Amino acid sequence: QVQLVESGGGLVQPGGSLRLSCSASGSIFSINTMGWYRQAPGKQRELVATITSGGSQNYADSVKGRFTISRANARNTVYLQMNSLKPEDTAVYYCNAREGTEWSPVGGYWGQGTQVTVSS
């Protein structure tokens, strides 16, 4: 079992920045990929960014160039630095951990989510 704890969500103005963090505990020796997914009201959960234990990164086209994912293996923590935030970034952001190197909006282990609201 893997447990994920998220933090860093909140209210930010358009063009602002926010940093999310996710700490993993439990059977983390089996985890090879961690990432972030988001779900806006009335929409399906979608990929934001993922990173493997080897440092390989994958981003959704909608956040490329604005968001950066990083992983601190010694601390079992993954970060999502979000810059140039837009109102359409408003969503609940979920941390994910999985044993494989593929990404999907389902499967693996999930955190409880943290709300990000971009509004003036």
Average pLDDT over residues 94-119: 94
Report pLDDT for 89: 98
103 pLDDT higher than 90: no
Q: Which two tokens stand for residue 108?
A: 């693996």
Q: Give the pLDDT confidence of 39-64 residue by residue, as tens digits.
A: 999 999 999 999 998 899 999 999 99
Q: Using CA atoms, how far apart are residues 25 and 95, in angstroms rounded to an integer?
A: 13
**pLDDT for 74 beyond 70:** no
pLDDT at 8: 97
CA angle in degrees (0–180, nearest 5) for 99-105-111: 70
To which residue do tokens 């990432």 refer? 35
The structure tokens 């408003």 sit at: 90
Sign for the CA dihedral angle at 73, 77, 78, 84 comes to negative
Q: Is 96 in contact with 2 (CB distance < 8 Å)?
A: no
- Closest to 7 (Cα-Cα) out of 87, 77, 69, 98: 77
> Looking at the predicted structure, is the pLDDT value of residue 19 above 90?
yes
Compute the average pLDDT of residues 16-27: 95
Contact 96, 110 (CB under 8 A): yes
Q: Is 105 helix (H, G, I), strand (E, B) or coil?
A: coil
Tell me what pLDDT residue 70 has: 96
